[in-house]
Chain A
Amino acid sequence: MKKSIIKFVSLFFALSLVFAVTIPAFATSEAETFYDEYTDEDVFQEYTDVNDIQGFTYEDEDIREFTETVTAEVYTSSVTASPDADASAKPGAKTNIAKKLIISLVIGLLIGLIVASVLKSSLKSVGRQAGASNYIEDGSFNLSGKEDVFLYKKEERTPIPKQEPPKK
């Protein structure tokens, strides 16, 4: 029973570790993938198509300038959502894979260590008893005195940092 609980807790811990790391990593990769796969040229082409279909008369230079502004804003806002991302440079696909690989290996080894430790602990069964709870006579517990006296209270206040309203 005790061993099953240890195994369950270890498995839960390992899964938590997987999710704790993969979800933020997913957020980072999503932002970066957007930039990697959805290039300026794609955005320019889309706006050009809309221009033609809707019958607008914007010049190509106007669309190009608008496209650059939009893609720069999207990349900045996406990447800043992830603390690990380097907003100053466009990360390459190889760097992303290497980063994911390293993260995977570190978590994998941690899980391996947990699994091996659980298996090793199953070899040990000798240990001293913590108490004598097996030998308490049924119905012998008698609580004759019970006092709960309030002494004092202490209050702490922490200011909540204010968020400045966005500039228009």
Chain B
Amino acid sequence: MAIQEYKCPCCGGGIEFNSSVQKMKCPYCDTEFEMEALKAYDDSLDESAESTELDSSAGSEWAEGETDGLKSYVCKSCGGEIIGDENMAATSCPYCGNPIVLMGQFSGDLKPDYIIPFKFDKQAAKEALNKHMSGKKLLPKIFKDQNHIDEIKGIYVPFWLFDADVDADIKYDATKVRQWQDNDFRYKETSYYAVRRAGSLRFKNVPADGSSKMDDTLMESIEPFKFSEAVDFQTAYLAGYLADKYDVEVSSVKPRIEERIKASTDSVFKDTVKGYDDVNTKSSYLDYTDSHAKYTLCPVWLLNTSWQGQKYTFCMNGQTGKLIGDLPCDKGAYIRYLLGSGIFSAAVIFAIMMLLS
């Protein structure tokens, strides 16, 4: 499999995509390169070219089956051995730090349709994490003070983006209630209605995580991605980041996509049922037409840290800057706030009661 390193023609250093200038930039001599220029270079690459040797000699000490799923590559710059799993598509050499793209992972049917480039850099991810932790009263102080991030990784995560036209036919049971009274009785009149709504709706670019390594809940938490800023896939964007090819098939994520689309369709149509006191969905028929998925790489910053033996993962949307991640709770502070605010409130209430009496 071809290993592609983007070298600076001026100084020979490895160049990488710079999210600030949205161009390839040499970190050594600061020379910038247009993405279009590198696209022509990519097109001219022959996958079977010279230094494509896949080093499959795993060594005699490995047990049978132990190396399944592992692949090793040789860095073209320093000759160091790079080991990754079978889905690894972009990484950097652990010895010389040169960004490396494994071209074969994105060829043929595996080639992504689009890529959303990073707009925020590593420093922005660190700042977003600090902002995320600030003002959290129950966050253990020691966690914040000693929060040394173990690693920060910029990853292009494979996503399936679904388009779908939805034809809906939904039936509801609805009621209207009228109440009045005279001198002798209170009256309650309930009117029952059969309500039906039919129509169509179009969803565009509903995302689903295409990597089994990434937690689906984390990936849904950093949504939305703005597809309007996506560009045609080009391997040069991967330089300087990690990337995996998809290992979750479209058919596997389809049920989740349909579940989300159904929830939103039901909500939109239910909003048109007005003038009733109570509305319940009786039946819902949804037909998906003209649905198809696009294979897209989306930018994600992954920040890992550990505290008291537990691993904490934070994710930042590399396009919008939205950062999420659950934080630990200081039980002592929780009790202090519970009792402190409780006793303070009790004192205030007691004082009010005494004053009023």
Contacts and interface: CB of A to CB of B under 8 A. Distances in A.
Contacts of A126: 217-218, 221, 324-326
A129 B344 CA distance: 38
Given A22-B356, A108-B346, A123 B201 contact: no
Interface in B119-171: 132, 136-139, 169
Nearest to B194: A149
B345 A111 contact: yes
Given A126-B221, A144-B200, A151-B193, A131 B260 contact: yes
Contacts of A127: 217, 220-221
B188 A155 contact: yes
A135 B261 CA distance: 9
B186 A158 contact: yes
B199 A141 contact: yes
Contact of B340 (A104, A112, A141): A112
Nearest to A146: B197
A120 to B, nearest CB: 6
A124 interface: yes
A25 interface: yes
A30 interface: yes
Interface string A131-163: 111111100111111111111111111111000
Contacts of B189: 153-156
A149 B171 CA distance: 11
The residue in B204, B205, B324, B341 that gathers the most chain A C-beta atoms within 10 A of its C-beta is: B341
A103 B338 CA distance: 17
Given A112-B337, A123-B326, A152-B192, A132 B186 contact: no
A147 B195 contact: yes
Nearest to A144: B199
Contacts of A33: 357
B45 interface: no
Interface string B110-126: 00000000000000000
A5 interface: no
Contacts of A140: 200-202
Contacts of A125: 132, 221, 324-326
B268 A141 contact: yes
Interface in B169-219: 169, 174, 181, 183-207, 216-218
Nearest to A23: B356
The residue in A108, A113, A135 that gathers the most chain B C-beta atoms within 10 A of its C-beta is: A135
Interface string A4-48: 000000000010001001100110011001000000000000000
Contact of A145 (B197, B204, B338): B197
Interface in B325-357: 325-329, 334, 337-347, 349-350, 352-354, 356-357
Contacts of B272: 143, 146
B42 interface: no
Given A142-B200, A148-B193, A152-B192, A119 B325 contact: no
Given A123-B328, A136-B202, A156-B188, A116 B356 contact: no
A130 B263 contact: yes
A: contact size bracket: 35 or more
A154 B325 CA distance: 52
Query: For the complex, would chain B's binding face be called helix, strand, loop or mixed by DSSP majority?
Result: mixed
B327 A123 contact: yes
B215 to A, nearest CB: 8
B346 A157 contact: no
A75 B353 CA distance: 21
A137 B203 contact: yes
B223 interface: yes
Nearest to A151: B192
B194 A143 contact: no
The residue in A33, A107, A140, A148 that gathers the most chain B C-beta atoms within 10 A of its C-beta is: A148
B201 A136 contact: yes
Contacts of A112: 337-343, 345
A122 interface: yes
B344 A108 contact: yes
Given A112-B345, A135-B203, A135-B206, A26 B353 contact: yes
A100 B350 contact: yes
Ranked 6 nearest A-B pairs via Cβ: A112-B342, A108-B346, A145-B198, A140-B202, A131-B264, A29-B357
12 contacts: A100-B357, A108-B343, A110-B342, A112-B345, A128-B217, A130-B260, A131-B267, A133-B264, A133-B268, A150-B193, A153-B191, A157-B186
Given A147-B194, A153-B191, 14 more contacts: A33-B357, A104-B350, A105-B342, A108-B349, A112-B339, A115-B342, A137-B202, A143-B199, A144-B200, A146-B197, A146-B272, A148-B195, A149-B194, A154-B189
